[in-house]
Structure formats: C-alpha cells, structure tokens
Structure 1
C-alpha cells in the first residue's frame, strides 16, 4: 500500500527514507480553493483523539453506554484553556501522522498522566512502538507546532541533543515504564527494552525519532489547488528545509523528519481549539 493510500486525509508531497534523515512532506490540501481547516480538525479528532488522550485500558472499556462520556473525558484531558500557544495540538498531529504513515501503536498516553487539566508533561512528545515480527521499534517523537520554520529548527535541535544524553534517557525510560498500561499488548517486551540493565547501545538500534515541524508557507498561501504546479514548487522547498534541518542536528539514532507547511498556523490552532471545546461540551 502506498503512503498516500495509508493517509486518511492529508496529502503526500514527498516521502523518502534516504539516510541520514528521512523526510515526509504533507499538506492539508484545498477544497473550493480554500485550505481545509475544518476538515483537518475533523480528521484529527475523529481518528486520533481517543488513543492520544486515553489509556489502553480505557479504550478497551468504551461501549455504547459510555462512549459519549469517554469522548468528553478524552477532550478534557488535552487541556482546558484558551491558550493557543500550547503544544498539545502539535503532539496530537504527530500522533496521527505516524500512526497512519508507519502503523505505529501508542504505548503511553502522556496526556492522561497530567497532574492537572492545564499542566504540561515534559519528556518526549510521543511514545509509540512499531512491532516487527519478534522485535519492537521504539518511536520517541519531538514536535514544534510553529509558524516559522527556522525558529522551529532552532528550538528543537538542542532538545533532541539533550534528550539523547545518557542521564536524561535513563530517567525518561524509567518514567515511561511507570506509565505503560499493563494491558498494553507489548508490555513485557517494551519494559525489557527500557530496563536500566539493557545497554543503550542495544536500545539505540531500536529507536526512531519522528520529528514534526509545522510552519506558515507562502507557497501554501499562494496556491489554491493541490496539483502538479503546486508540487513543482513545494517539493524543492521541502528538500531545502530537510537540508537546513539535517545540517544542524546530530543524533545517535535514526531520525525521520515530518514537514507540514501550513497556510496559517494561528487559524488552524483556533479551529482545533473550537473543535476541542465542542467535544468537551458534548
């Protein structure tokens, strides 16, 4: 199945797994010559909110009698404020993208473990796995849901560097282990992989870091259709941004960069906030 066939909503601009850093460029697309803000929010919430904001056990317990309550609870778990600068929407977008493109399985719902409805949770922005035969690949995500590409790179590169220092990783692995739902189907294998007695040399062979960067794009604003003329301009732009990022980051594990150029990040954030509030009120 092609990458585009796997995507439920987003349009594929380019996809490459060429080392040292793979790249997937994506677009929200257009309808009637307008960028699809509302449809983007509907796709994201309908397909990805529940397993982003609920534990594996809670998902298993959803039934006809409690479905509305669970949906409302999931929406409230994200955050309950009007702050459009929060990072949860970016985390949700990354969560949805890697599920669809690579078939990842969320291992930990970070959102569920907040101390309060508007608290932030530190650490990796996504903790997913890919099950390959008898092995697990651990996907530790990083996101910058920004309107400026250069600023997103500037802010995310030191975070990636810091997050792969030995002391930080050991502490983060311990925190992740404590949050894995025991009903998670790959619980035993994942706990063994994250065990402090497992050498990081072995763990690094099993890690991929999906990095999502969003940014406002003049090309997205200029074009009104997802067609060949759009692709002819946006593909070189994606490749240039990949080089800009790759030239500035060093990491001991595999990185895959997801680039999502937007028409207006502020408008998308407001649309997502409106959808979140609607789900919180059902």
Structure 2
C-alpha cells in the first residue's frame, strides 16, 4: 500500500471512542465478545472517504506480488471487469448497490488500524464464467502471534439506513459463524487458491500445504489443534442521524441489543470473537456517487 494512501487514512479516519463507554453510558453490542470492544470511527470530509475507498480498491483486488512491478492504473481499471460485477453502462441504482465500497474500506481499515496482513485477495473469490463472486466472507486477513493464528474473516455493509444494515447482517450471521460456512465454503476456496497466499512463510500457508498432502477427516479439529481462532469484524458505514454522531452510535447499539439479544452461535466449533466497527457519515449515496464518477472517468490513482 502506497504511503499517500496510508497517510490519507491515518489523517482522515479517527477512532472517536470504544464501546462500552462509561462517560456516555453506552454499552457494547450483545454479541461482541468479552475480549473485544466495538470501535466507533469518525470522518468529517466525505470526499476524503470517497478517495480512500477509490484508492483502496486496487489493494483489495490484488495480492502484493501481483502489484509488484505492475501498471497499477491499468490493473485498477481491469479489476472492474475481471473481479467485480461493475458495468459502466448500467444504471446508477445498480452501481450504487454493489458491495465493493464497503469491502475496500474494510480492507484498508483492518490493514492500517488493526495491523492485519492479507491472507488472500478477495479478488480470487470471483467466478469468471458466471461473473459473480463466490459466496464467502467480505475479507480474508490474519494476525499471527507466536503459535497462535487469528483469521480475520469479516463482513461489511455500506448502507444509508444503519438499522436496516444491521438487520441484514443478522439475517445470516449465525450461518457465517458456523463450521459449515467457515470450512466448507471458505476454507475450501482458500485451499484451492493457496498458491496465491501473499506470505508463504506464514503458519497458515504451511498448514494448507500439509493438509493438501494428506486426508483430513475433521478440519475443525485441525484448526483447534493448531490454535486457530476466527475473528469476525463487522463494519457498518451508514448515514449519520440528524441528532448527531453520538446519537447515531447509540441508536445502532440499542437496536442490536433490543432486537437481537437472544442471538447465539451453537454451530461453530473453534474459538471465535465478534465485534462491530461503526462509521456514521454525512451522506452514503453521495460518497458512492463520487466514487462512481471517478471510476467512469478513469480518475488517475495517487502516485
């Protein structure tokens, strides 16, 4: 990731506070684990957020070894035809509905603020023939600490209505936090594309190579035996409430804790943590429109 983008993210997106917040008397979400806080970020310049997302698409789409020595502007423009369902001739409503806005933002925030390494580019999870993304998580990152490995496989929503975004998350969250989804849907694809993992020295790459050479009858058991944990960050970017930033945060957390207090995850057999990343902004639609304008006009990337 180029320094100008790193600087732009660090200077523009600010961690306002964490939840729970004793001063404001705000709780964290009912599904956020005891070892995590919900993180509330703020950005005051909408155009800078559009720029961050626009620039992040390149790094979200390609692994570092692909980027090394490549013509980045050309690769960036190719990504919309080869890795996303972006149609320059489509109506605005279609372009606004695509998921890469939040996915690219989640990529950069995890990379910069949470010191994640990319496990494998999300761009590989695309069916060229069907021109659709393979079902899966919205990001594939990792943190390796000594013998412990955290797989940061998360989700993002970039919607105008924050509560509607939360509702959509909870439609499938029990499925996302399950052995079937983690192992059968996502690990199967990662194993298929293991050769494209950026860092071949990582524990997970070495394990994938080992697993490929022998019969694995219980993948969950293998994950547990190797101290592998799932971390599930959920980034919600949404229109700020007319009553201000704090109200926008409290409204979402109250909605989660009121409507989804009985949510449980009985179908996951490995250690896991969930937490929310909340980013209320002034105008979701305008943020996306600016990005679309730059994509259609082939706005040059930062050098």
| Category of TM-score, reference length = shorter chain | 0.7 to 0.9
Deviation at 1:163, TM superposition (A): 1.9
Query: Which residue number corresponds to residue 256 of structure 1?
Result: 275
Alignment RMSD: 3.3
Aligned partners of 2:123 and 2:13: how far apart in 1? Answer: 24
Aligned partners of 1:182 and 1:120: how far apart in 2? Answer: 17
Structure 2, unpaired ranges of 5+: 1-7, 21-27
Q: More deviation in 171-180 or 16-25?
A: 16-25
Taking a change above 3 Å as real, the CA distance of residues 93 and 205 of structure 1, as seen in their structure-2 partners, is: same
Whether contact under 8 Å (2:58, 2:76) holds in the other structure is: yes
1:265 aligns with 2:265: no
Deviation at 1:44, TM superposition (A): 2.7
Helix, strand or coil for the counterpart of 1:7? Answer: helix
Deviation at 1:75, TM superposition (A): 5.1
Taking a change above 3 Å as real, the CA distance of residues 211 and 244 of structure 1, as seen in their structure-2 partners, is: farther
Query: Which residue number corresponds to residue 51 of structure 1?
Result: 59
Aligned partners of 2:259 and 2:37: how far apart in 1? Answer: 11
Taking a change above 3 Å as real, the CA distance of residues 258 and 111 of structure 1, as seen in their structure-2 partners, is: same
Q: More deviation in 87-96 or 246-255?
A: 246-255
Aligned partners of 1:281 and 1:193: how far apart in 2? Answer: 40
Aligned partners of 2:143 and 2:260: how far apart in 1? Answer: 24
Whether contact under 8 Å (2:149, 2:228) holds in the other structure is: no
Query: Which residue number corresponds to residue 27 of structure 1?
Result: 42
Structure 1, unpaired ranges of 5+: 30-35, 224-229
Helix, strand or coil for the counterpart of 1:208? Answer: strand
Aligned partners of 1:204 and 1:141: how far apart in 2? Answer: 19
Whether contact under 8 Å (1:124, 1:142) holds in the other structure is: yes
Aligned partners of 2:14 and 2:201: how far apart in 1? Answer: 34
Deviation at 1:237, TM superposition (A): 4.7
1:170 aligns with 2:170: no
Deviation at 1:69, TM superposition (A): 2.5
Deviation at 1:184, TM superposition (A): 1.9
1:209 aligns with 2:232: yes
Helix, strand or coil for the counterpart of 1:185? Answer: coil
Taking a change above 3 Å as real, the CA distance of residues 184 and 205 of structure 1, as seen in their structure-2 partners, is: closer
Query: Which residue number corresponds to residue 126 of structure 2?
Result: 114
Helix, strand or coil for the counterpart of 1:184? Answer: coil
Count of aligned pairs between the two proteins:
260
Aligned partners of 1:254 and 1:71: how far apart in 2? Answer: 33
Aligned partners of 2:260 and 2:10: how far apart in 1? Answer: 25
Deviation at 1:193, TM superposition (A): 5.5
Deviation at 1:259, TM superposition (A): 0.7
Helix, strand or coil for the counterpart of 2:41? Answer: strand
Superposed CA deviations along residues 129-162 of structure 1, whole A, max 9, x for unmatched, are 1122343211001112211122212211232211
Aligned partners of 2:112 and 2:134: how far apart in 1? Answer: 24
